[in-house]
Amino acid sequence: MPAAYYVAGMSTIWTLEELDAQIADWKAALLAVASGREYTISGQSVRHHSLPEIREQLAYLQRERQLLLAAQSGRPRRPGPLTVRPVIGRG
């Protein structure tokens, strides 16, 4: 079984295959619910009012996938957006 990876104080417990499978399941749920159908995932029925939770779950899984890929490539990933400050010329 593949080991979990550690990146910049954060770790993930997932393998790439597990994340890809879960992302596919949640995408199928999103498509079904968005078209007005009910969908069952992990034993839970999700309906139209579950759209925000489905999107949140997909965002979480995508962040975990990015962390895992960054750890596998050996490049650190800075959490959060970059802040750019303008440089004011002197003189």
Per-residue pLDDT band for 88 (boundaries 50, 70, 90) equals low
Contact at 8 Å (CB) between 70 and 81?
no
Rg (CA), the chain: 18
Give the C-alpha separation, 71 to 13, whole Å.
12
SS3 25: helix
Length of the chain: 91
Segment 9-19 shows an average pLDDT of 80
DSSP β-ladder status, 39-41 and 5-7: unpaired
pTM of the model: 0.69
SS3 39: strand
